[in-house]
Amino acid sequence: MKKKLFVLSGSSGVGKGTVISGFLKRNPNFSLSISCTTRKMRPGEADGINYFYLTREEFEQSVKNGEFLEWAEFAQNLYGTKRAFVEKCLDNNKDLILELETIGALKVKEQMPEAVLIFIAPPSFEELEQRLRGRHTEDEATIQKRLSEVRAEIERSKNYDYIIVNDEVETAISTLEKIIKDEAKNV
Ligand code: 5GP
C-alpha cells in the first residue's frame, strides 16, 4: 500500500517546530523527511539527520539532473526534497511528513495532488510580530523582511487543504493528529 504524503508549513515564529515535534513524539510511526540545503549547518545539527548539506554547485547539479521533487530559495539559501527519498519512504510503507516553505509545498501539490497540505498559522499577524520582536535577536530591517515573508506565506496558505491556528500548542498538536488520522483513512 502506498502511503499518503503530508506537507506542513508555517511562518517563522509560529511554533511550527514545537507542533511537529510534539506530533512526532506521540506518533513514532511518522518520520520527517530529510531535505537538502545549501545553508550552513547550525550548532547541534548533523549531516543526514537535520538536512543533507550541499554546496550550491552540488545542489544546482541535482536540479539539472531532475532529482528534486521540489526546491525553492528561502532567505538566500536553496532547499529541496529529493524525489527518490520520498518515493522510497512511501513505497516502504513509511508515513512521511515534509516540512516545507509554501512555494515548495505548492509545487509538491502540483505534482502529487493527493498530498495533504497543512499550514500552521499564528493567532494573528500582530501576535506573530510581537513574538518575532520578543526574540530580541534581529535588527529592524531583518524583522521587516521576515514580516513581509510571513504576509506572503499567509497569502499562499489560501491554497492549502487545512489551516491550523496555533493558539495553544497542545490543541494544535491534537488538531494535527485528527487531520492526519482522518486523511490517512482515505488512502
Ligand atoms: P531552516 O533554515 O530554518 O531549517 O528552514 C527554513 C525554511 O525552509 C523553513 O520554512 C522550512 O520549512 C523550509 N524548508 C526546509 N526544507 C525544505 C525543502 O526541502 N524544500 C522547501 N521548499 N523548503 C524547505
Best residue among 14, 52, 63, 101 to mutate for probing ligand 1, ranked by most atoms within 8 Å of CB: 101
Count the domains in the chain: 1
Domain range spanning residue 60? 5-184
Q: Residue 142 corresponds to which amino acid?
A: T
Measured distance CA(151)–CA(143) in Å, rounded: 12
Q: Whose CA is nearest to atom 12 of ligand 1?
A: 100
Give the tens place of pLDDT for each residue, 30-83: 989 999 999 999 999 999 999 999 999 999 999 999 999 999 999 899 999 999
User: What is the C-alpha R_g of the chain?
Assistant: 16
Q: Whose CA is nearest to atom 6 of ligand 1?
A: 74
For the Cβ of 104 lying below 6 angstroms from any atom of ligand 1, the answer is: yes
Expressed in angstroms and rounded, the spacing between residue 79 Cα and the centre of ligand 1 is: 6
Total-model pTM: 0.91
Average model confidence (pLDDT) for the chain? 92
Nearest CA to 85 among 139, 119, 134, 36? 36
Best residue among 37, 138, 153 to mutate for probing ligand 1, ranked by most atoms within 8 Å of CB: 37
Helix ranges (DSSP H) in 44-168 = 56-64, 83-91, 102-111, 125-134, 140-156
Best residue among 34, 67, 98, 99 to mutate for probing ligand 1, ranked by most atoms within 8 Å of CB: 99
Cell 488520522: give the residue: 181
Q: How far is CA 164 from CA 35, 89, 159, in A?
A: 23, 26, 14
Helix ranges (DSSP H) in the chain = 16-26, 56-64, 83-91, 102-111, 125-134, 140-156, 169-185
**Is residue 92 pLDDT above 90, yes or no?**
no
Give the tens place of pLDDT for each residue, 154-168: 999 999 999 999 999
% residues pLDDT > 70 (the chain)? 98
**Is residue 117 pLDDT above 70, yes or no?**
yes
Q: What is the CATH number of the domain that holds 155?
A: 3.40.50.300
Measured distance CA(72)–CA(57) in Å, rounded: 15
% residues pLDDT > 90 (the chain)? 72
**Is residue 1 pLDDT above 60, yes or no?**
no
pLDDT the model gives residue 102? 96
pLDDT the model gives residue 13? 76
Residues 6+ apart with CB under 8 A from 187: 1, 2, 3, 4
